[in-house]
Structure 1
Amino acid sequence: MKVIIVGAGLGGLACAIACRRENLRVIVLERSAEAREVGAGIQIPPNGARVLEQLGALPKLIEAGAIVQHVDFRRYDDGRILSSMPFGDGVIEEFGVPWIIIHREDFYRVLLDEATHLGAEVRQNAEVVDVDFEGPEVVLSSGERIAGDVIVGADGLYSRVRDLVLGTPTSPEETGDLAYRATFRKEQLEAIDDPHVTELCQKMAITSWLGPDKHSIFYPVRGGKEFNLVLLRPDNLEKGIRRVQGDVEEMRESYVGWDQTLEKLISCIPSVTKWKLATLPELQTWTVGPVALLGDACHPTLPYQAQGAAMAVEDGFAIGKLLGLTQKNFLESHAGDDPSMSTREAAKNTVPAVLEIYERIRKARTTRGVRAAMMNRKVFHIPDGIIQRIRDFIVSYAGVTRRSDWTWLFSWRMRQVLYHDLAGNCERAFEAYRRSLDQE
């Protein structure tokens, strides 16, 4: 079978790798002139790392990134540590794989190299403007038509394929938050000559300052040679503007009165980009016929649970696994038939049903992820007062693993997110579908 993936982002490339590992033909169409990822640092939590391990990419990602040893939550004004959660070996023991921090470009490069190494064709300057659901085939802006058996819309928050699947334009909804993103070289931070900044730079840790209406995140990338800082605050961009070059002075004024260590980090930023944070209303469907959506095209999320890329990678894996099972089942069922028969002849009947399985096993989980990120936004941004003090007290006893969590509830909740047998879910769902066909 031939799979056409629209969009060469992290989810699209993970889908390409998953499909190639199932011996499916793959072409990835990217509208930009250069295959690259925009942004700074990114976290790969254990559920994402487990999928990437099954795709064969985890060792290279660990080599390009780093394993998180601690996550420290600090009070916004004085920098007091509210909780220092041990990760490292405890996370590996609990979930089987580490929690990784990595530069987005390095993450992207590992997936792109793996996809092309496995034989996926990745084309730049290939903008998809229309989809023929009957073909199925995609139509490029050049007029070229490319036919396949399955079309995957992995083209992000402003997805063209989503509009075609739904039959109407669907505009993202502004969340009311924006993010400043910046990266530093280690030498820049050492030049500050501040013991608290130096201490931060020596730790393979994620540090987050929690304050009223805002929070910030700081961690190393590229083995501690660079550092990533994200500042999240209420949105003041005009409606419809997605991203602009930010005003450095405005950014600094936004965090006056915060921890002096954070203020010193902010003072080093020579320029900054403002990113509007947007999401979508819950979609009624992700699939129509042989066309499916994945990642931000169908369930974009706020970056308050480190799950956006992980959920997209899970989607890509699920599509590849289910299509691989479809192809394998066809070949086994028709082993003695006319050798001129192919899975392509059966695809038009089976692919829509298999993609519905994909939607069914992914939609509830991703919906919970999106809602949990929205809840974290409220928890992180509580104003000063009694409720904030209660939050701080609970956080001080919380841990991501059962061994480190005195509340027991926090680690239970995190286990539902971070320990997920996606491959088993796909296999069980496909087997139930196969048995239903046998009974007809």
Structure 2
Amino acid sequence: MKVVIVGAGLGGLACAIACRREGIDVEILERSPEIHEFGAGIQVPPNGSRIMREFGLLPQLLEKGSQVQDVHFRRYKDGRLLRTMPCGDDITEEYGTPWVIIHRVDYHRILHDEAMRLGVVLRLGAEVTDISTDETTALLADGTIVVADVIIGADGQMSSVRAAVLEIPVSPVPTGDMAYRAVFSREQLEGLNDDSINELCQKVAVTSWLGPEKHTVFYPVRGGQEFNLVLLRPDNLSSGARKEQGDIDEMRASYADWDPTLQKIISCVPSVYKWKLTHLPELKSWTKGSVAILGDACHPTLPYQAQGAAMAVEDGAVIGKLLGSLQAHILKPRISGVKPSQSTISSAQKLTAEVLALYEKNRKERTTRNVQAAVKNRQLFHMQDGILQKIRDFVLSYAGVTRKTDWTWVLSSRQSQTYGWDVLEDCGKLFEYWKLSIE
């Protein structure tokens, strides 16, 4: 079996690793002329780090990243602490793997290096212009036709593979929010000579300030030598733009009445881009024949649940597991030692399509739930001052991400469905049930 993956982002690399671990040939088509990853910090929650453990990459993740010790929620006006949620070893004890914060470039490099070590073929400057779901081929901009047994679209929200799967173009639509993202050094922050900022710099914690229509997220990366800041607010980008150079004065003015400590942190930002946050309507299908899409190509989410990348990596791992099981337990026994006939090839293509449909069945409910949870978090994080905000702050003051620390049991119960679920075990059971149905 040969799998061609369009896109060398986190989800595409995870899929490549998962397939190679199953003995499947993999080629990645990446339109960029060089391999690089943009972005700033990224959170790898326990369900994401569980996949890294499965790949044998958890030690590298912890070497380049840091284990979250606490999550702090603060009031936007004065920085008053609303709740500290302990994490650390409690997270590992309850969910099996840690919650990690890491620079996105470092995370991407770990996956890239492992994919190369396993023998994945990476073709750079390979822009896909068309996909044939009937022939399972990819047409490149230079006229080259790449033939595969399976094509996976891991090419993000502007996916070209998605149009082939759906047979109509579906474009992302604005959510009404945008994000400023910045990374700066510890020296820049310590140079402010501010006790409250120095206190923040000592903690391996994710700190969020919650306010009307906005919230911000701040945490260390690269061993605390750098810090990640995300400022989320109502969108004012021009129509049709996905990314623009931001006005630094406008950005600072947006948070002029917020916690003075946060304002000082923002003062370290020398220049900034702003990103429009978009999403897709729920798609009728993620697969057609032996072609499928994963991650942001089919279920992009607001970054208010720290699950976008984790869901994409889970998608890739599940696809690899299912295709590997298909190859090992069904296809090889049927064609071992003989040249396959056309009818055998057609049967294999049909079975491959059915297994990709299993992938969609396994993943759709889970990813949809997380997309909806991010929307709910937006409503909770961005409340106007008033009675509902006071109720939220009261409930939040008793909440936690583990059963040990959650006096309400509401948040930990919800998070256990996300953090604690073993998606590979689940898809293995689904495959065995399907296998019985065809034998």
TM-score w.r.t. length of structure 2: 0.98
Aligned to 2:381: 380
- Measured in 1, the distance between the counterparts of 2:150 and 2:276 equals 32
**What CA distance in whole angstroms lies between the structure 1 residues aligned with 2:166 and 2:346?**
26
Aligned equivalent of 1:400: 401
Structure 1 distance, partners of 2:218, 2:18, is: 32
Aligned to 1:103: 103
Considering only aligned residues, what root-mean-square deviation do their CA atoms show, in Å? 1.2
Which secondary structure does the structure 2 equivalent of 1:4 belong to?
strand
- Which residue in the other structure is 1:417 paired with? 418
Q: What is the aligned residue count? A: 437
1:109-128 → structure 2 map (5 Å cutoff): 109-128=109-128
- The one-letter code matched in structure 1 to 2:315 is D
Residues 365-376 of structure 1: pairs in structure 2 closer than 5 A: 365-376=366-377
Say whether the 8 Å CA contact 2:287–2:356 is kept in structure 1: yes
- Note the C-alpha offset of 1:37: 1.4
d(CA) in 2 for partners of 1:134 and 1:74? Answer: 54
**How far is 1:396 from its partner?**
0.5
Aligned to 2:280: 280
Give the match for residue 362 of structure 2. 361
1:149–1:347 contact (8 Å) kept in structure 2: no
Asked if structure 2 preserves the Cα contact closer than 8 Å seen for 1:47 and 1:419, the reply is: yes
Separation of aligned partners in 2, 1:216 and 1:344: 53
Q: Is the aligned partner of 1:231 residue 2:231?
A: yes
Give the distance between the partners of 2:48 and 2:57, measured in 1 at CA: 11
Looking at structure 2, the residues matched to 76 and 138 of structure 1 have their Cα atoms a distance apart, in angstroms, of 49
Identity of aligned residues (%): 59
Name segments (4+ residues, structure 1) moved above 2 Å: 330-335, 337-347
Q: Which amino acid aligns with 1:315?
A: D
- The whole-number CA distance in structure 1 between the counterparts of 2:243 and 2:331 is 48
Structure 2 CA distance for aligned equivalents of residues 235 and 344 of structure 1? 50
- Is the contact between residue 71 and residue 86 of structure 1 (CA under 8 Å) also seen in structure 2? yes
1:202 maps to which residue? 202
- Give the Cα–Cα distance (whole angstroms) in 1 for the partners of residues 313 and 206 of structure 2: 22
Unaligned runs of 5+ in 1: none
* Aligned partners of 1:149 and 1:344 also within 8 Å: no
How far off its partner does 1:134 sit?
Answer: 2.1
Q: Distance in 2 between matches of 1:404 and 1:239?
A: 44
In 2, Cα distance between equivalents of 1:108 and 1:99: 17
The 2-side partners of 1:223 and 1:403 are apart by 27
For residues 249 and 34 of structure 1, the distance between their equivalents in structure 2, rounded to whole angstroms, comes to: 34
Match of 2:138?
138
Q: Partner letter of residue 100 of structure 1?
A: V
Q: Does 1:6 align with 2:11?
A: no
**1:349 CA displacement:** 2.0
Counterpart-to-counterpart distance in 2, 1:346 and 1:100: 43
Residue of structure 1 equivalent to 2:85: 85
Structure 1 residue 278: Cα displacement? 0.2
CA deviation profile, 1:119-164 (whole Å, cap 9, x unmatched)? 1011110001111222211010000011010000000011111011
Secondary structure of 2:397's counterpart equals helix
The offset of 1:304, in angstroms, is 0.1
Q: Indicate the SS of the match to 1:240.
A: coil
Q: 1: distance between equivalents of 2:194 and 2:235?
A: 31
- Displacement of 1:245 in angstroms is 1.1
Q: Is the 8 A contact 1:322 1:430 kept in 2?
A: yes
Residue segments in structure 2 that go unaligned for 5+ positions in a row: none
CA distance in 1, matches of 2:80, 2:107: 32
CA distance in 2 between counterparts of 1:326 and 1:243 reads 41
Alpha-carbon distance in structure 1 between the residues aligned to 2:206 and 2:216 = 10
